[in-house]
Amino acid sequence: MTPVSAPRSTGLSSWRGWLLAATTALLAACGGSGSEPAASPAPQPAPTTQAETTGATDITNEAVLETMRRATRFIRENLAVNGGYVWAYAADGSRQWGEMEAYPQMVWIQPPGTATVGHVLLDAYHATGDEYFYESAAEVAAGLIGAQHPAGGWNYLHDFAGEESIQRWYDTIGKNGWRLEEFHHYYGNATFDDAGTSEASQFLLRMYLEKREAVYEAPLQKAIDFVLDSQYDNGGWPQRFPFVEDAPDLHGLPDYTRHITFNDDVADENIKFLLMVYQSLGDERALESIKSAMEIFPATLQPAPQAGWGLQHTVDTLDPIGARSYEPTALVTSSTAGNAAQMMDFFEWTGERRFLEPLPEVFDWLESVRLAPEQVVMTGREYPTFIEIGTNKAIFNHRRGSNVINGEYYHDYNPDNPIRHYSQWRSVNLDGLRERHARLMETSPEDMRANSPLNRQDGFALPKYFSVTSLEVSDLNSNIGAVAIDRPDDERIRELVDGLNEAGYWPTPLRATSNPYIGDGPAEPAEGDFGGTHVGDAYDTSPYMTDDPETGISIGTYIQNMSALMQAYDSRQ
């Protein structure tokens, strides 16, 4: 479960415009997940000028295509494990990382991992028509099918060396990542966290729709069934599924993975995938699931004067509930802003004003916890992340000790020296949310229903490219953020072509590294203050940023550069 401040998916709102661009020109995208107000449709490649199509650069399309092929050949022949990838590799092959250090036979499902590579390869096939890229994408799909849980979803990672090996990883590297509590226990099931299951499912859907090859039909149906089977009757989804009866209490807290989860776009990503399934396959079960999912948003909204949402909510009483030890039971400003934006989406889909009516109380609550200018600690972040239920006080997370054995997280009302790997302050565009709400209150419900994505479109086709507009995650080394990857100019094309080294990869400083596993930490803390650091002492296996990075291989860099090159190639056809 990535900190909620980390870039995640494009969200229902902005992604909605992207999807509907393929189904109808009548709908525009609205506010983004988390804190964005009304927005324009997700960016598409810019129009091509005559000068750009007639050799404005001396780099030919043949050279661009050969660069893309060489870079892909390198990762297929040197990095792939049964078609799968992790996030980064030491140049000498001695170590490799996903969100944490990985064993040699591991692949990472959590973006930007295996499925992200698959999307890029299928995009490259669409840009160039070169069957080599389709064959490469099919290899990735085979790896994902091999890593698919029998129930139909995916874990953050998969170990092709088998269950004994992955259990050993969780008992060593995973357990000792102090701040990465989602890796402290091997559940043996699948997760909706961090979009891994959603992205893999979307990729299998794309592969099936591409040529309707039978090999993808059954795994795709398993993925669809997984999303449907895991949904609660009230419309929410847990973080992990199938449920594990003997899941342990971790760090003195009960198992949080069964709670209704909004954190990291769990509901958002599932609705997104189901929209794709409904529009492309006509599966009415997907439509019914979407309608059910919309109901959990107003149902979990807490009453005024604290009209907000938490990261997770209990299944029975629908109350906010904590998760990891630095995610206390509280209302969460970023989740509240994101859910409010999605409630406005739901009005646009249904024309039902009941999704709009409670939002003024939500906005009033957000305004009530907004920091005064002299209280702002981080520029642009005027809202504490966690707000105590009942008192409306901001609460802040801290930690003491030096590793997972002797350390612990705790929270209080003191904003000094908070943890920094999980932001304690948020940016919320409250004015934008209010403006969008006022605009929607003046619109016709009939117009909303007429243009709804819940109306299946004849001739529906998925967007040509997924990796150009929807990449919002980072492998900690590449520069993939919350913006679209632009079509490169001539200078950038030359940099990309010339920057591919003789071996066939783009050398990247591996700013993210980790301490190798050396055993469980001691009971006595090491000297020093680790309260505000990303990593503890030498026993902590959490990733951290180093000031002295070694040059290695970044899958994020491959994704970013391939996405740029395919746009360059496509625009010059």
Is the pLDDT at 69 greater than 50? The verdict is yes
Q: What is the mean pLDDT of residues 210-214?
A: 98
542 pLDDT higher than 70 = yes
- Read off the pLDDT of residues 161-206 as tens digits, 9 standing for 90 and up: 999 999 999 999 999 999 999 999 999 999 999 999 999 999 999 9
What CATH number does the domain containing 292 carry? 1.50.10.20
* φ, ψ at 499 (rounded to 5°): -80, -15
In a domain, 520, yes or no: no
Q: What is the mean pLDDT of residues 122-131?
A: 98
**130 CB neighbour count, 10 Å cutoff:** 16
Q: Report if residue 62 sits inside a domain.
A: no
Per-residue confidence band for 238, with pLDDT thresholds at 50, 70 and 90: very high
In a domain, 71, yes or no: no
pLDDT at 476: 80
- Rounded CA separation 64/55 (Å): 13
Residue 396: in which H helix or E strand, if any?
Answer: strand 394-400
In a domain, 531, yes or no: no
CA dihedral 511, 516, 520, 523 (to 10 degrees): -50
- pLDDT of 473: 52
Q: Are 122 and 466 in contact (CB under 8 A)?
A: yes
pLDDT surpasses 60 at 49: no
Cα dist from 309 to 149, 205, 253, 411, 556, whole Å: 31, 32, 20, 19, 33
* Residue 469 in this model has a pLDDT that exceeds 80: no
Cα(183)–Cα(225) distance, integer angstroms: 26
Nearest to 236 by CA among 318, 154, 167, 162: 318
Residue 335 lies in a domain: yes
- Helices 217-230 & 196-211, crossing angle to 10 degrees? 140
Q: Domain residues for 380?
A: 11-44+100-475
What's the mean pLDDT when you consider all of the chain?
90
Write the pLDDT tens digit of every residue in 251-286. 989 999 999 999 999 999 999 999 999 999 999 999
Residues 285, 278: Cα–Cα separation, whole Å: 8
Residue 339 lies in a domain: yes
Nearest 5°: the CA angle 371, 11, 451 is 115
Beta bridge partners of 320: 313
**17 band by pLDDT with thresholds 50, 70 and 90:** very low
| Least confident span in 1-5, 58-62, 516-520 | 1-5
Mean pLDDT of 148-163: 98
Q: What is the pLDDT of residue 479?
A: 62
Could you read off the pLDDT of 297-354 as tens digits, one per residue? 999 999 999 999 999 999 999 999 999 999 999 999 999 999 999 999 999 999 999 9
Number of domains the chain contains: 1
Residue 547 lies in a domain: no
Beta strands 425-426; 96-97: pairing state? unpaired
Specify the pLDDT at position 486: 81
pLDDT of residue 470: 57
Q: Is residue 164 assigned to a domain? A: yes
- Name the residue with tokens 């990261």: 311
Q: Please report the pLDDT score of residue 26 as a whole number.
A: 24
Residue 131: predicted pLDDT: 98
Q: What is the pLDDT of residue 477?
A: 82
Question: Helix axis angle, 131-147 relative to 61-78, nearest 10°?
Answer: 30
Tokens standing for residue 131? 């069957």
Q: Which residue has the tokens 């995208």?
A: 29
The pLDDT value given to residue 394 = 98
Render pLDDT for 483-525 as a digit per residue (tens, 0 to 9): 467 889 999 999 999 999 999 999 999 999 999 999 999 999 9
Residues 6+ apart with CB under 8 A from 14: 29, 30, 31, 32, 33, 36, 39, 41, 42
Sign of the alpha-carbon dihedral angle for 323, 326, 330, 333: negative
**Which pTM value belongs to this model?**
0.91
